[in-house]
Amino acid sequence: MSAPLVQATGLGKSYPRVFRRSDRLRALLALLAGKTSGESTSVLSGIELEVQRGQSLGLIGDNGAGKSTLLKLLTGVLTPSQGQVRVNGRIGALLELGAGFHPEYSGRDNIAMAAALQGFSAEELAARQDEIVAFADIGHYIDEPVKHYSSGMVVRLGFAIIAATRPDLLITDEVLAVGDESFQKKCIRWMEDYLAGGGTLILVSHSMYHIQKLCRQALWLRQGRMQAQGDVFEVTQAYLAYHERKSADTQGTARDLDTLRGQEFHVRAVRVNGEEAETLPALEQGAALRIEATIASRDGRVPVVNVGIVRADGTPVYGVSSDMDGVQPAPLADGDYRIVLHFGELPLLPGSYTVRVHPLDSEGMRLFDTVERSLTVKGRSSESGLVRLAHVWEHAAPLSRIRGE
């Protein structure tokens, strides 16, 4: 394998502690003498990272975990305090909003400036200016000062410029969160094309959906250290599980069992594939899914059970109630009711999903309780969407070219 595009060894960053006025002077003298600047606060340490050409890496972690600092170290905006970074290629980075735009100058002027910062000549810029303006798609605002832009427009322009530079390595930091739906889609489509064309991506996002969609690898940073690194589904799942534990710790149990017991129905237990844990082991694409719901009934009436599957970002995938299919839960000896829903071959595409179980009253009108289980589907499929629909190609010849041409 050729030399990695990005390689970081023992990488760390610490900021000097500057409280009193004299600290700055002391730091200055120490640095001039070639020493370190004295006391410091470590924000990132012990990062070992290797990204090969064509890979895509998602960086995840809580606020303040060091994600942006790591990106800044990789792009060279910050110089490492320990260890080193090597990048064998041209980086296009979109760090934070604005990417260094000057608020007083128009969008066009800022394009010219950004091009100069990327080391582009005037001719290269002229050739790409129209492309950038078209991609940003902000209308007449392109000739107005950037200070009049909305934050979404700033991101549009920033991304358009980076997209036009076609870097070897694209680094973006929470950029997608600001753009509107159609621009997000445009960016994701562009990044997918870029990845298909052999581009390399390092993406920071709090949206596990975006991370899973665009990245094959993930790195989870926690308090400035590497918590986990590897396959995107395993790492994001571990991260989500950590968050669930964290919110369970801080809020107590989300379901208030005492109140629920007073209601007509509540969920006694949910087992998914025989497991009672809130987060299940990752499922292979096309594996079977078996959801067993045990419902307590206060008055002995028969509940209707509704099971829904939503994607991690909240998009509904499928929902079904027992009464729709003309069945009802069967009673157990202790007065509870139980029903099992079985999906033989789960058609979900790789990603994170949530399974929800609700008991409804016998008429299927009132909803009483909600129990969620998170579910990750693993796989290498590059199909898009939520589920695989049964399909057959007709009038088709065998593939002779490589995909992505």
Binding residues vs other proteins (CB under 8 A):
15-16, 18, 24-25, 27-28, 31-32, 34, 37, 72, 75-79, 91, 93, 95-96, 98-100, 102, 104-105, 109, 112-113, 116-117, 119, 121
Q: Nearest approach, Cβ of 112 to other proteins (angstroms)?
A: 7
Nearest CB to other proteins, comparing residues 45 and 236: 45
Q: Nearest approach, Cβ of 249 to other proteins (angstroms)?
A: 35
Nearest CB to other proteins, comparing residues 75 and 200: 75
Tokens of 145: 């000062």
Nearest CB to other proteins, comparing residues 33 and 257: 33
Residues 47 and 202: their CA atoms lie apart, in Å, by 15
Crossing angle of helices 151-165 and 122-136, rounded to 10°: 130
Nearest CB to other proteins, comparing residues 24 and 189: 24
Instruction: Collect all residues with Cβ–Cβ distance below 8 Å to 91 and sequence separation of at least 6.
Output: 74, 75, 76, 167, 168, 169, 170, 171
Burial of 207 (0-12, 13-18, 19+ CB in 10 A): middle
The three-state secondary structure class of 289 is strand
Cβ contact 354:375 at 8 Å: yes
Q: Nearest approach, Cβ of 84 to other proteins (angstroms)?
A: 13
Nearest CB to other proteins, comparing residues 100 and 319: 100
Nearest CB to other proteins, comparing residues 46 and 98: 98
Q: Nearest approach, Cβ of 114 to other proteins (angstroms)?
A: 8
Instruction: Collect all residues with Cβ–Cβ distance below 8 Å to 363 and sequence separation of at least 6.
Output: 304
Q: Nearest approach, Cβ of 5 to other proteins (angstroms)?
A: 16
* H or E segment and range at residue 189: helix 181-196
Sign of CA dihedral 153, 94, 128, 122: positive
Nearest CB to other proteins, comparing residues 117 and 332: 117
Q: Nearest approach, Cβ of 92 to other proteins (angstroms)?
A: 11
Nearest CB to other proteins, comparing residues 66 and 359: 66
Percentages of the chain per state (helix, strand, coil), in multiples of 5 = 30, 30, 40
Cβ contact 43:69 at 8 Å: yes
Cβ contact 289:272 at 8 Å: yes
Q: Nearest approach, Cβ of 99 to other proteins (angstroms)?
A: 6
Nearest CB to other proteins, comparing residues 43 and 371: 43
Nearest CB to other proteins, comparing residues 109 and 292: 109
Neighbours of 291 (CB within 10 A): 21
Q: Quote the Cα angle for 3-161-155, to 5°.
A: 110
Q: Nearest approach, Cβ of 70 to other proteins (angstroms)?
A: 14
Q: Nearest approach, Cβ of 21 to other proteins (angstroms)?
A: 9
Q: How far is CA 36 from the centre of its chain?
A: 37
Q: How would you list the strands of the sheet with 56-60, edge to edge?
A: 91-94, 169-173, 200-204, 56-60, 217-222, 225-231
Nearest CB to other proteins, comparing residues 76 and 335: 76
Q: Nearest approach, Cβ of 95 to other proteins (angstroms)?
A: 5
Q: Nearest approach, Cβ of 76 to other proteins (angstroms)?
A: 4
Task: Give 317-321 contacts, CB < 8 A, sequence gap 24+.
Answer: 317/348, 317/353, 317/386, 317/387, 318/387, 321/360, 321/364
Neighbours of 191 (CB within 10 A): 23
